[in-house]
């Protein structure tokens, strides 16, 4: 055996290939290089096949991979030997290797022939992927449909359970055999029986007195398939021996086949309502009389407001036809829009109802009395000229320059009284006399409104200060009016701690006296105001206000308010951004803070749709924003203002906005008040609120 192996590997009988024939270097190395490259490639292929077979153990034809690996490896070895023979003539090994390669090659051929029918039956990868994709889509749809059906069933069951449990009315479910399937506690209480006493029993067995009457509605539904709505049923149950009245509605519940499988009932005890209706009918005559008075009042008030507003809107249209400048046209358009808005709010501006409800407060503040009178004189002079009546203002002696009162309410009283005097004076004059009275205890300011009009009788004077009344109904028809002006004025004067008196004679005119206590600011300063009144000219309020710096955010759902506020603030020097509701204001404020460009002041309307001002302020404070916030309120009632301040605002302004005050307040918070002072103000306000709540709790 050893001799055979020695002989087998012996190369002495053969020359190396370089010595056979006339090989050039190029041709020889071409063969050697090609064989070695082929050898390397042939060994790389089986390595990849073996790696694939080991990784994909699920592949059904792994043996064919092993055969391919052996076949290609053998071929590669033959090429390697061919390259070696150029130096070592191992022809015996080469022949043996070629025999081995032939055997493996034929084995591979036989295996391929054997596996070919099986391989041909396997679907292609594309077909398999497409089939799998369709199966996945179908399965997902089935799962979605199943989940949706389950969710719908659960939702319907939950809704039904909640409805039966929470409904304030009686509810039941009855089968076609008129036996109870389901009933809630409310209906069981109405019947005076437990729920268990109903289930599975016929209606007439549960309710002997009412059963036959009720079953007729069910029989009608089973016959016609239509609901029986709003049926009044009167009788007694085990719960009460007294006759009671119920309002019952019955609804058929049908399956997909249209067959009624149950009937739902909704029952409401309306005994108290029927009793209330009976009592209401007894008082109908009085209510109709009161309603008639109210209707007449509303008709008069609507007329009194719509008449001047029609003129305002009409002249606004005239101006729009003449004005070309865009800014001027925009101003007139704003006036027109707000005038139209006022027409829609006639029933919301009745001061008398607010006074009677205790929702109107007076807020005292320093007032320059000569300027207030001058403003009123300027306004009422126009009305007097339209009526061709002389209107003058006289000051008897010196008067205080500055007093402490509510300028809005005082202005309202004087305008009401002077306007009333002008309206009822067809010719002659109306005079406003202002006089300072140094009393023994409290000094007074006396306003006397004197006219040469129609005058009034004592009987008319008695009815004059009653709401919805005038001295004579014929006067209403001739001169118009709501009959509220004097009643409102009298109550406002009382709220200002003053007193109003009247002297009048038929055909000679009337004199209204308003006496207000003087609350001065510091030492009482008396001035001779004639020149102030006569020379009173419209002033540019913004020229007297400070210049603004900084960034201000105005949040208001009314575009006109945003526009006019932005106009005046920017004219004063501020950089203004606007938001049309609370949520947009929150988003803009937080975005500005995060961008490192915080606002110096936020002006926030309190009454907005969606997110209102109070909620927006709370969210801003919760987000850590400590900028000053000024609230805009429609009425600035004391309770509303306290709510704003306690809710996180630092100050407030009432609408319509005094833009000079707006700019002054903006200057206060952006230039005057420091961060420490602002924190101190908030701390004091929080302490005051705590004391108020503690006191309220102890009183309870």
Q: Which of 186-190, 292-296, 361-365 has the highest mean pLDDT?
A: 186-190
How confident is the model at residue 249, as a pLDDT?
92
Q: How many helices (H) and strands (E) does the chain have?
A: 24, 19
Cα distances (Å, whole numbers) of residue 186 to 165, 178, 266: 8, 20, 10
How confident is the model at residue 488, as a pLDDT?
80
Residues ≥6 apart with Cβ < 8 Å to 352: 467, 484, 487, 488, 491
Question: Of 70, 57, 76, whose CA–CA distance to 111 is shortest?
Answer: 70
| DSSP string for residues in 477-524 | HHH---S-HHHHHHHHHHHTT-EEEEEEETTTEEEEEEEEE--BSSS-
Cα distances (Å, whole numbers) of residue 265 to 181, 252, 285, 415, 465: 11, 9, 38, 62, 57
- For residues 533-560, average pLDDT: 68
Q: What percentage of the chain has pLDDT greater than the value 90?
A: 20
CATH code for 362-534?
A: 3.30.565.10
pLDDT tens-place string over residues 205-262: 888 878 888 888 999 999 998 999 989 888 877 666 778 888 999 999 988 888 898 9
What phi and psi values does residue 656 have, to the nearest 5 degrees? -70, 145
Residue 305, Cα to own-chain centre: how many angstroms? 32
- For residues 66-82, average pLDDT: 86
How confident is the model at residue 468, as a pLDDT?
47
- Can you list the positions of beta strands (E) in 621-696? 629-633, 651-654
d(C-alpha 65, C-alpha 52), whole Å = 9
In this prediction, residue 579 has a pLDDT band, given cuts at 50, 70 and 90, of very high
How confident is the model at residue 603, as a pLDDT?
95
How confident is the model at residue 300, as a pLDDT?
55
How confident is the model at residue 45, as a pLDDT?
85
In this prediction, residue 636 has a pLDDT band, given cuts at 50, 70 and 90, of very low
Cα distances (Å, whole numbers) of residue 145 to 136, 155, 324, 416: 14, 15, 65, 72
Contact (CB, 8 A) for 471 and 456:
yes
How confident is the model at residue 615, as a pLDDT?
94
Give 554's strand partners.
578, 603
What phi and psi values does residue 267 have, to the nearest 5 degrees? -125, 130
d(C-alpha 499, C-alpha 495), whole Å = 9
Question: Of 497, 474, 496, 500, whose CA–CA distance to 485 is shortest?
Answer: 500
Cα distances (Å, whole numbers) of residue 425 to 390, 449, 451, 501: 10, 12, 7, 19
- For residues 509-533, average pLDDT: 72
DSSP one-letter code for 657:
P
Nearest 10 degrees: CA dihedral of 212, 218, 224, 228? 100
The residue that leads in pLDDT, 385 or 287, is 385
**Mutual orientation of helices 25-55 and 62-84 as an angle, nearest 10°?**
160
d(C-alpha 225, C-alpha 219), whole Å = 10
- For residues 634-642, average pLDDT: 60
Question: Of 473, 492, 490, whose CA–CA distance to 481 is shortest?
Answer: 473
Question: Of 225, 184, 218, 183, whose CA–CA distance to 204 is shortest?
Answer: 218
Q: Rounded to a whole number, what is the distance in angstroms from the first to the last CA of the chain?
A: 122
Question: Of 515, 388, 492, 501, whose CA–CA distance to 445 is shortest?
Answer: 515
Contact (CB, 8 A) for 587 and 535:
no
In this prediction, residue 535 has a pLDDT band, given cuts at 50, 70 and 90, of very low
Contact (CB, 8 A) for 551 and 577:
yes
Counting every residue written for the chain, the total comes to 700
How confident is the model at residue 458, as a pLDDT?
83
Contact (CB, 8 A) for 681 and 650:
yes
How confident is the model at residue 347, as a pLDDT?
41
Helix (H) or strand (E) holding 306: helix 284-322
- Can you list the positions of beta strands (E) in 209-294? 228-237, 240-254, 260-269
- For residues 345-361, average pLDDT: 59
Helix (H) or strand (E) holding 173: strand 170-174
DSSP one-letter code for 669:
I
d(C-alpha 328, C-alpha 334), whole Å = 10
Residues ≥6 apart with Cβ < 8 Å to 59: 52, 53, 65
CATH code for 542-699?
A: 3.40.50.2300
Indicate whether 530 pLDDT > 60: no
Q: Choose the CATH number for 167-280 among 1.10.340.30, 3.30.450.20, 3.30.2130.10, 3.90.550.10.
A: 3.30.450.20
In angstroms and rounded to an integer, the radius of gyration of the C-alpha atoms of the chain is 50
- Residue 134 has, within 13 A of its CA and on its CB side, a CA count of 5
How confident is the model at residue 350, as a pLDDT?
56
Q: Which of 71-80, 135-144, 304-313, 587-596 has the highest mean pLDDT?
A: 587-596
| DSSP H helical ranges for 122-196 | 125-166, 185-191
- For residues 368-391, average pLDDT: 88
d(C-alpha 579, C-alpha 124), whole Å = 63
Indicate whether 467 pLDDT > 60: no
Task: Return mean pLDDT, the chain.
Answer: 80
Indicate whether 28 pLDDT > 90: no
How confident is the model at residue 617, as a pLDDT?
95
How confident is the model at residue 161, as a pLDDT?
76
pLDDT tens-place string over residues 274-319: 888 888 888 877 766 665 565 456 545 554 565 466 556 655 665 7
What phi and psi values does residue 132 have, to the nearest 5 degrees? -65, -40
- For residues 667-685, average pLDDT: 86
pLDDT tens-place string over residues 431-454: 999 999 887 678 899 999 999 988
């Amino acid at each position: 055996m050893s001799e055979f192996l020695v002989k087998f590997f012996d190369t002495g009988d053969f020359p190396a290939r370089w010595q056979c024939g006339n090989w050039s270097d190029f041709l020889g190395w071409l063969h050697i290089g090609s064989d070695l490259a082929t050898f390397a490639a042939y060994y790389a292929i089986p390595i990849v096949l073996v790696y694939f077979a080991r990784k994909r153990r699920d592949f059904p034809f792994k043996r064919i991979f092993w055969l391919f690996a052996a076949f290609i490896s053998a071929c590669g070895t033959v090429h390697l030997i061919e390259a070696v023979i150029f130096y070592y003539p191992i022809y015996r090994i080469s022949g043996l290797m070629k025999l081995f390669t032939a055997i493996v090659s034929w084995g591979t051929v036989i295996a391929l022939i054997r596996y070919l029918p099986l391989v041909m039956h396997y679907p292609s990868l594309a077909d398999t992927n497409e089939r799998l994709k369709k199966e996945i889509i179908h399965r997902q749809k089935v799962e979605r449909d199943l989940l949706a059906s389950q969710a719908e069933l659960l939702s319907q069951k939950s809704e039904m359970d909640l409805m039966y449990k929470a409904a304030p009315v009686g509810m039941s479910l009855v089968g076609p055999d008129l036996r109870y399937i389901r009933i809630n506690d409310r209906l069981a209480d109405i019947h005076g029986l437990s729920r268990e006493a109903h289930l599975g029993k016929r209606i007439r067995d549960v309710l002997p007195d009412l059963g036959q009457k009720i079953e007729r509605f069910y029989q009608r539904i089973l016959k016609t398939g239509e609901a029986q709505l709003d049926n009044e049923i009167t009788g007694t149950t085990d719960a009460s021996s007294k006759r009671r009245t119920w309002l019952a509605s019955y609804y058929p519940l049908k399956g997909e086949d249209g067959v009624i499988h149950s009937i739902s009932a909704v029952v409401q005890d309306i005994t108290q309502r029927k009793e209330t209706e009976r009592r209401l009918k007894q008082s109908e005559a009085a209510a109709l009389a009161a309603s008639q008075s109210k209707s007449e009042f509303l008709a008069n008030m609507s007329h009194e407001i719509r008449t001047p507003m029609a003129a305002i809107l009409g002249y606004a249209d005239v101006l729009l036809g003449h004005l070309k400048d865009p800014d001027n046209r925009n101003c007139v358009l704003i006036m027109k829009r707000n005038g139209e808005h006022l027409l829609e709010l006639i029933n919301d501006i009745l001061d008398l109802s607010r006074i009677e409800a205790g929702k109107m407060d007076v807020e005292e503040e320093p007032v320059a009395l000569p300027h207030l009178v001058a403003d009123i004189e300027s306004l009422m002079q126009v009305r007097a000229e339209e009526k061709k009546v002389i209107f003058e203002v006289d000051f008897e002696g010196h008067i205080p320059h500055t007093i402490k009162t509510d300028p809005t309410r005082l202005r309202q009283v004087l305008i009401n009284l002077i306007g009333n005097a002008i309206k009822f004076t067809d010719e002659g004059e109306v005079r406003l006399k202002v006089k300072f009275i140094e009393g023994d205890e409290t000094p007074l300011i006396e306003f006397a409104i004197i006219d040469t009009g129609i005058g009034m009788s004592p009987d008319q004077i008695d009815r004059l200060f009653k709401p919805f009344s005038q001295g004579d109904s014929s006067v209403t028809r001739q001169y118009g009016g709501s009959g509220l002006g004097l009643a409102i004025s009298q109550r406002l004067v009382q709220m200002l701690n003053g007193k109003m008196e009247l002297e009048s004679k038929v055909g000679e005119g009337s004199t209204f006296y308003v006496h207000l206590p003087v609350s001065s600011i510091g030492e009482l300063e008396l001035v001779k105001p004639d020149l102030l009144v006569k020379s009173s000219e419209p002033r540019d309020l913004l020229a007297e206000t400070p210049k603004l710096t900084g960034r201000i955010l105005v949040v208001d759902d009314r575009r006109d308010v945003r526009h006019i506020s932005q106009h005046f603030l920017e004219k004063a020097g501020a950089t203004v951004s606007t938001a049309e509701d609370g949520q947009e204001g929150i988003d803009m404020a937080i975005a500005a803070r995060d961008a490192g460009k915080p606002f110096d002041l936020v002006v926030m309307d309190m009454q907005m749709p969606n997110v209102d001002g109070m909620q927006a302020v709370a969210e801003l404070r919760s987000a850590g924003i400590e900028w000053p916030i000024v609230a805009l309120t429609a009425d600035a009632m004391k309770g509303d203002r306290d709510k704003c301040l306690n809710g996180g605002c630092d100050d407030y302004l009432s609408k319509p906005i005094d833009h000079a005050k707006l700019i002054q307040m903006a200057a206060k918070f952006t230039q005057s008040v420091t961060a420490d002072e602002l924190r101190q103000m908030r701390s004091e306000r929080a302490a005051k609120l705590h004391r108020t709540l503690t006191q309220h709790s102890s009183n309870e």
